[in-house]
Structure 1
């Protein structure tokens, strides 16, 4: 019988969903986690989904895969859906069918592609395939049903504001400030205090910095390239997707077993999704203006010709930087899972100029560059970058400390 559970404590590494049987160990080495996450990334790109919608979809897919695998002889608390699958069911089949169930229900227009991938995956497996697929389908359907009323719809907007320090345009997606979290107890506790007052030294310093480093009229090829690398606009996998891709790359390089791979996917995607709630809550609460407006209307040194290096104002309130909060969450989960931040990797984002990869000595270095790119693009003040990084780190620390506990 299906049992809906709230996520609780988990250790960081160790045995994941139990020891595979001899038959399971003899299965072909196919990476169903990477392939189904790849399809989720494609769904986000095709739909031109927002960062918030993207993070939620990634969490649905990865929570379903974790609970499906963990339910077959697993040793950890479920992420969302409890219960036990057939003892000898194929865990790879379960993971694939769970992801398929999520994606066909959230992206029905691409059902044919998902059906084809599932058929190929199941056709390459040998033992316990039907039982695994049936269990995985049950879990995936249950995950979608359990999150159907999580508050992510209907779409809500905050009206345009006016006056000094206030974001001027209307923006949509503010319902995410109240979305039910996947793993943390109360995302509202991570909403920070207000940005620096407009007459403070801290604000003056940040204002002066972005007015120079984010000025699109000043040629700065390296700054532009860094901004573009992490810009990730609509039509890309969005910032949460890049951290999911980084996790997949590092997992493949370390040849994680299926149990640990689905656990990493669930941890990082839940942290990214819950970071959305705190980030949108912060933006909605403070409604802070973007550098372009601030510089155009400065009381002391207005520059109405100033244009951001990004070439845009920004589509949501400035405080905090969502790119930064997602990066703080992603880097913190990866460092916690692997017990070290110092894992070198190379990565090319969806918006990387020329598709060229960049190399990093560790996760926090990539997160720092991603956050700083928003200042270089003239879209954020650095205090919003730093506050965003801390939101993501704090959410991720709670997820690591309280989710998928060993039983």
Structure 2
């Protein structure tokens, strides 16, 4: 029988702590500090690509801090993500190192929230068993790793902001797009994100385009009430002030990890899972941004309101058509970033646990949506992609292209990064 993993509150870190971890013996830094990263994205109202970068940085820092100490102890060795383990201390508390590494990243990126992060780190360190010297050594090493991650990513192409101008030609995205720089962001795990560039949307006068056009025109129409589609759309909405689409997969991992034997009692395995996931989400942002910049395709609302210009006899203009989402969409349509993040996240999780069929529940950031239960990671990824058609802001071909890209990004990372090079976990 499948195990049901339930997460119905935003407060994952405290709600899912195993009983043995709630006392002074252990803390759960991966859970706690990912929750803080999610909250930073919400508070700062980051876009999806910036959010994915943050999740990757926090989790890469925690992984390299923990991994470095394991290497120093010669119990096992894995490839490092960004920071070589050569100078890691032998006698250091790994949980202190993980917490301090995440603290260093978040404090550097959001100094106005340092008081929150300082208080959390102080509480975490105080909960660890002595000897104090090992806790302090772990803290110092973790802080060093986190600072190095920030330095190494300081000029990674994610800034300064670059705007791609809008275009009024048939098939073109009309508004200016202010996050075009993310197409040039240095990858976290893959060799070249452009390998996963979409082949592009179908021609405007093609049957494939007309089929997708007419599907979203019906399914994404705000004027056609549909309770099920409304629920799915709202659950995956992830707009401004939320954890954003990549954050939904961090939340899924937070729900699953404490309940699965592989990760429930292993810091090393948990930190590796989240580092793999973070890198896949970060690199999904880069490949999605590249496709958006390259094809600069119009959103369904623009397409439907201007169907008299597309040269396709199978499409019909409706100048009053409105998408269920409310807003038209803040970036070029092709491909779907949500679909890319979703399939990347599902691929990492299914491969890591060697089982796609893990049943879990979690709550979307949109409070009115409530909790939803899925019987597999792939089912959640499929629904996340279709939610964008129900929202009226993506075509199905862009959902499928995003899913393909996310799968490819994740598989390359699984095949090439954070691999064991000596016996051990």
TM normalised by structure 2 equals 0.88
Which runs of 4 or more aligned residues in structure 1 lie more than 4 Å from their structure 2 counterparts after TM superposition? none
Aligned to 2:137: 131
Aligned to 1:274: 283
Aligned to 2:327: 312
Aligned to 1:405: 419
The residue matched to 1:393 in structure 2 has which SS?
A: helix
Question: What does 1:343-382 align with in structure 2 at a 5 Å threshold?
Answer: 343-354=358-369, 356-382=370-396
Deviations 1:255-306 (A, max 9, x none): 1410001000100000000010100000000011111111111125211011
- Report which stretch shifted further, 81-90 or 226-235: 81-90
Question: What does 1:283-294 align with in structure 2 at a 5 Å threshold?
Answer: 283-294=292-303
Deviations 1:334-363 (A, max 9, x none): 011111111110010111525x21000000
Deviations 1:109-158 (A, max 9, x none): 10001000110111111231011111111111111111111011101010
The answer to whether residue 237 in structure 2 is matched with residue 228 in structure 1 is: no
Aligned to 2:339: 324
Cα distance in 2 between the residues matched to 1:256 and 1:228: 34
The answer to whether residue 83 in structure 2 is matched with residue 81 in structure 1 is: yes
Aligned to 2:307: 298
Deviations 1:299-321 (A, max 9, x none): 25211011111122111111111
Whether contact under 8 Å (2:335, 2:401) holds in the other structure is: yes
Q: Structure 1: which 5+ runs fail to align?
A: 1-25
Cα distance in 2 between the residues matched to 1:297 and 1:131: 63
Q: Structure 2: which 5+ runs fail to align?
A: 1-22, 72-76
Distance 1:264 1:256, change over 3 A: farther
Deviation at 1:48, TM superposition (A): 0.2
Cα distance in 1 between the residues matched to 2:87 and 2:364: 38
Aligned to 1:4: none
The answer to whether residue 55 in structure 2 is matched with residue 52 in structure 1 is: no
Cα distance in 1 between the residues matched to 2:293 and 2:340: 15
Whether contact under 8 Å (2:198, 2:335) holds in the other structure is: no
TM normalised by structure 1 equals 0.92
Whether contact under 8 Å (1:72, 1:84) holds in the other structure is: no
Cα distance in 1 between the residues matched to 2:304 and 2:36: 42
Whether contact under 8 Å (2:220, 2:391) holds in the other structure is: yes
Cα distance in 2 between the residues matched to 1:274 and 1:346: 26
**What is the root-mean-square deviation of aligned Cα atoms in Å?**
1.2
Whether contact under 8 Å (2:360, 2:374) holds in the other structure is: yes
Cα distance in 1 between the residues matched to 2:239 and 2:196: 25
Cα distance in 2 between the residues matched to 1:350 and 1:106: 23
Deviation at 1:32, TM superposition (A): 1.0
Cα distance in 1 between the residues matched to 2:329 and 2:141: 44
Question: What does 1:155-166 align with in structure 2 at a 5 Å threshold?
Answer: 155-166=161-172
Deviation at 1:105, TM superposition (A): 0.2
The residue matched to 1:59 in structure 2 has which SS?
A: helix
Deviation at 1:27, TM superposition (A): 7.2
The residue matched to 1:138 in structure 2 has which SS?
A: helix
The residue matched to 2:236 in structure 1 has which SS?
A: helix
